[in-house]
Structure 1
């Protein structure tokens, strides 16, 4: 792992200061002391006060420590949809100095087994709804030493039984330094192989403070936040921020996102903020239920993960008022690159700064760089690079990826864009071929490799194209083996068991010959041009 610590010898003969920081679990400790009887978490008809939430976290931490010998630095894989246990598990890991390793619960058993191996997970906490995932991890080359089951399951020890057995046991927050890892945030690169971005206690403390300062100022114990996205990624970071503020977290009652139910919860709990993606905002404001419930309590509807169509943005402003907050960030910078606050969203096309994702976050700095690493002038397009306390410590056990990701102290995002004269960022493209569908990063090479495992396919190229519902979707361009006949349905069925559903291309197009460069290389630019010539590309997103 590459450390993020400060280098160099001390100046002026002053001894270096300790890098000790507050354990992130102290955020719960603090809230439990100050707000003991106030609600920390609501899920359906159940509610936990801060004192109860803190107690359950300590009980699980005690079980992990005493029953399974979990210690500082151990990684704990968590496969679950949103539930109180998943949220508790994050802080139980932090409390022990262990590393929280959440998965995207939509991933396949084999994909999750790879994450278990790549992270070197000592143990696994798995929801009862995913027995195949638990089995795949236990059958992997480096299986976890234990599995804890959330709910009634045929595998592992019961999470709630362990909490009950250790109820009342106080567990101190383990001392941590700024660069001690607390979270492996799985992301991917152009290879499509997931990489564990190492998030640390010091980094995430800065992110929490920065979120409160830049995204939702004034948030505190009187506020409530509705969770409409998986806690494994951006929503988990957002809810960490709510804990820091002492605000109440409200989970959707079921796995299925129900718009009317969401609006009913906004009214019932006087929700003041939520984190989501443009496609969900679109669904929220286009559903008739938006007019059936009182949403006047909303102060911040934060969206990220993809551009928002201008028409959708205006519709949301008309329905919800000036509450939209956009940010741009990556897992490696933990959503902490730019912000576009409510006051700068406008219904007036003439007054609106259309197309920007905002300006630099407090304490962060953006540099638009050419291929040689030199900073470019405003208006010139280049790679978006970033520096500041929100930048991660590096990829776990991946020195090659770290060498490519950093240059002269700058983290290279792989995205292309430019800054205007006033410092507003405009993203113009991606250095990689990644596209974003429904807020999830999709990496074509991973899908292409799976497609090419089919015996009747000789070549494959997947590109992301604009889509009004999902932001972007994939189109797979395929060339069949000479003499073979293969159908779209056949390929879709072949992929269904190999990759998560959200990664499946929306369409499969068959070409007699794949477009190639003069060097015989398949380039996505030529593939896109060929699709456009055939009238198979949709309109781009509105500015």
Structure 2
């Protein structure tokens, strides 16, 4: 029986806070737009009506297999229609979606499955070695595949087809959920230690989706279309849910290799109005010659996040695409909802871009503060840790009280990012706390150096990181990628560095590589670069 409490405005209200099940977004849209395209997967169209039928059928299959509210359903798959159907079906029964980055190793998937305590495992046919871990998962109620393979007895398509053949399909409402009921285990990238499962809830995610529409894509509607150019297991999956809420079609490919030419062709063909990406992918799109052969005038919002976009890259994109860039800053734990820099505040002209280097101001309904090591709020232009509170903040890390203790202080979520804020509330990130290194007693922030180096005419990409040094504590190493046809002149570049970067910030060692290693989400991470330096024996002896 629900316990009641006194309501200060008069009357009685229930303690539990029932909210809409997220799968209801798809049901509501299907009721209005049944014959309109919901998904276009390699040019095969699924309408909203068809998607809703398939999601309802798969939800009933899950329940027939014994899955129920609170169970965790792990899916290891690259982008495809079935992945999205599994997401919505999982939400529909009140279970928890546990997607993985499809680029991680079988051992990593095994760790995520064990740490999340999953009851179901869905694996794409392209990953038979990952599927082998199913035998080690205790209490598995469902093991199914996507596509054709021998490692599981049933495919998602077969299960849905069999259920749909049971005429008529049993219609039933989505499972009742409360605000704090989990819907998604969003695994962090694990820059230090093992990945942690950030618990996202139905109530939190409803706010996030509303906020995405409000702050990132104002005016989003059923006549819009969105292109998928990032893994749906993470930020792009959240972006997809915003399209579901407004009935905008989502266009995606199952091809393993990203094709800028295909992306621009589809932008023209499907009149794409928005997409979510990371700076490295956006740089690839802008640099590809096909950008000039296809019409991209329908684009209104190119939303980039996940890593800093350097000013030089911003200017190239704006010159090529126009004033359509929208930046947001946020971690998986806050589902991207910390700050926004709208399209109207992006300019290719440095004189107009008065807040160059800012990641924007606080998202609607969110509060951002800069705090010192003791939790004191700092004044404008004082550097400290970026902290945030508001409805987009996650419920905590699953089964990890120590991580929760470190992540929260006085109701604030501690991002671990360093930065400052100006008098108008615009936030400037100077780097992650873990990226900063101390050389000879001076704090060095790699991003500041990287921003400067990317203005050099020969440099395409750069990563600066600190490595141990017996004399100075740490010294900087810079790894650069040259632009196509650029000629490397080590002496000339060293002279440029000396003229443009303060002496105590200058890297001790400069390395040139044909490309930088990137994470499964397209990010340049210092952890991967450092490991590659070790693998290549590229670090100079102290």
TM-score bin, normalised by smaller chain: 0.7 to 0.9
- 3-state SS in 2 of match to 1:212: helix
In structure 1, C-alpha distance between the alignment counterparts of 2:436 and 2:384, rounded to whole Å: 17
Q: Give the one of 396, 406, 429 matched to 2:408.
A: 406
Q: Determine the structure 2 residue equivalent to 1:127.
A: 124
Deviations 1:377-424 (A, max 9, x none): 011011100000000000001111111111110000011110001100
Are 1:319 and 2:316 counterparts? no
CA shift, 1:11, in A, is 3.9
SS of 1:174 mapped into structure 2? coil
**Contact 2:66–2:141 (8 Å) recurs in 1:** no
Distance 1:473 1:238, change over 3 A: farther
Instruction: Quote the Cα distance in structure 2 between the aligned partners of 1:38 and 1:360.
Output: 35
1:134–1:147 contact (8 Å) kept in structure 2: no
Residue 61 of structure 1 corresponds to 59
TM-score (norm 1): 0.80
1-structure distance, mates of 2:306, 2:436: 12
Provide the alpha-carbon RMSD of the alignment.
2.5
Query: 1 CA distance for matches of 2:150 and 2:172?
Result: 29
SS of match in other structure, 1:397: coil
The answer to whether the 8 Å contact 1:306/1:471 transfers is no
Secondary structure, counterpart of 1:42 in structure 2: strand
* 1:158 matches 2:155: yes
1:365 counterpart residue number: 367
Aligned to 1:274: 275
Indicate how the Cα distance of structure 1 residues 19 and 332 shifts in structure 2: closer, same or farther if over 3 A, else same.
same
2: CA distance, partners of 1:69 / 1:55: 20
Higher RCO (Cα < 8 Å, 6 or more apart): 1
- Distance in 2 between the 1:22 and 1:338 partners? 26
Equivalent residues in 2 for 1:174-189, closer than 5 Å: 174-188=175-189
Cα deviation, residue 145, structure 1: 3.7
262 and 410 in structure 1: CA distance in 2 versus 1, 3 angstrom threshold: same
Aligned-partner Cα distance in 2 for 1:322–1:512:
44
Matches within 5 A, 1:206-355: 206-352=207-353, 353-355=355-357
CA 1:406–1:10 in 2, change beyond 3 Å: closer, same or farther?
Answer: farther
Larger mean CA deviation between 469-478 and 131-140 belongs to 469-478
Question: Residue 56 of structure 1: CA displacement?
Answer: 0.7
Contact 2:199/2:398 (<8 A) preserved = yes
Asked if 1 retains the 8 angstrom alpha-carbon contact of 2:37 and 2:48, the reply is yes
Q: Is the 8 A contact 2:67 2:141 kept in 1?
A: no
Whether the 8 Å contact between 1:116 and 1:143 is mirrored in structure 2 is: no
Shift of 1:275: 0.3
Secondary structure at the aligned position of 1:249 is classed as strand
Count of matched residue pairs: 459
- Once the 2 structures are TM-superposed, how far is the Cα of residue 428 of structure 1 from its aligned partner? 1.1
The answer for the alignment partner of 2:533 in structure 1 is 507
Unaligned 5+ runs, structure 2? 438-445, 471-518
- Unaligned segments of structure 1, at least 5 residues: 1-7, 436-462, 480-498, 515-543
1:4-24 residue CA offsets vs partner (Å, 9 max, x unmatched):
xxxx98547753444000000
Q: Deviations over 1:334-363 (max 9, x none)?
A: 000000001100122122111000000000
Stretch deviating more after TM superposition (185-194 or 269-278): 185-194
Three-state SS of the structure 2 residue aligned to 1:63 is helix
Rounded to whole Å, the distance in 1 between the matches of 2:294 and 2:103 is 31
Q: Which residue of 2 aligns with 1:379?
A: 381
